[in-house]
Amino acid sequence: MGRLAELDLPPLVARAVVGLYTGAYRVDLSEAEAPAVAYPSFDAFFTRPLRPGARPCHAPPGAVVSPADGRLDALGRIAQAGLVPVKGREYRVAELCGDEVAAERYHGGELAVVYLSPRDYHRVHAPVGGRVRVVRSLPGDFYPVNAIGERHVPRLLARNRRVAAVIELEGGGELTLVMVAAMIVGRITLAPFAERDVPLGEHRLEPPFALERGAELGVFHLGSTVVLLQTPGAAPLVRALGPIRVGDPLTESVARQADGG
């Protein structure tokens, strides 16, 4: 499926494929950087960048913002035992981030989950400014991360292929951003890596990869879900669940200010 998605298509075929997909999933291409006729492959269409300025960020400095377009599915406190509830399922932080020892730093912190549907923009941006020092690329399955998968696959987010980027915050503390792959291709690219998929294993970046809030961090090649894990001591994540876009603040008070409330 990956080879098919990346296959160069004749312009007429590419236009037809994009048209069918856009119609089936009601994809809004008005903010795309390139017109529909410019995509040489389905992967190029699916990973399409947006035009500059399409996702302005009005949150104050230091605030955590959404890393992706989609639906904010869960917010919650990470228990001192390292357990978090996500849509009726209980997960261990260590399963999500891929390291038992590192997971202990997040006990008592915060969690957020953003689900990307097939119609959404599938590039992932930095929710905070900081430095990426550690990346863990974890093997796993490629179950669909939708209502069917959630209903029938126990521990779905911890069983699928994942890439976890640990961001050292500018003001202290850490935030781990976990990209969870889904069915069909499930490939993930990340800004610090030149490879077409992040190599499996733990990678320590020297020097660390500097990151500004809002900068592009990774791309889902047919995926899925972003999980944010935040260490204790930072402002709680308390935004209302529902639709969200890149750059929207993830704290209730900040969200009200941004909306003029």
Catalytic residue among 137, 203, 224, 248: 224
**Average pLDDT for consecutive 10-residue bins of the chain (261 residues)?**
77 86 90 82 91 90 93 92 84 92 94 93 96 95 71 78 94 92 82 94 96 95 89 88 95 52 48
Give one DSSP letter per residue of 71-126, joined into a string.
Answer: EEEEEEEPPTTSEEEETTEEEEHHHHHS-HHHHGGGTT-EEEEEEPPTTS--EEE-
Q: Where are the alpha helices (DSSP H) in the chain?
A: 2-6, 11-25, 42-46, 93-97, 100-103, 147-152, 156-159, 252-258
pLDDT tens-digit series, residues 164-177 = 999 999 878 999 99
pLDDT at 193: 96
224 is catalytic: yes
pTM of the model: 0.90
Catalytic residue among 125, 197, 203, 248: 125
pLDDT at 212: 94
Q: Residue 32 has which token pair?
A: 């795309």
Catalytic residue among 69, 99, 120, 197: 69
pLDDT at 152: 63
Q: How far apart are CA 155 and CA 89, in angstroms?
A: 7
pLDDT at 17: 85
Which residues in 99-112 are b (16+ Cβ under 10 Å) and which e? beebbebbeebbbb
125 is catalytic: yes
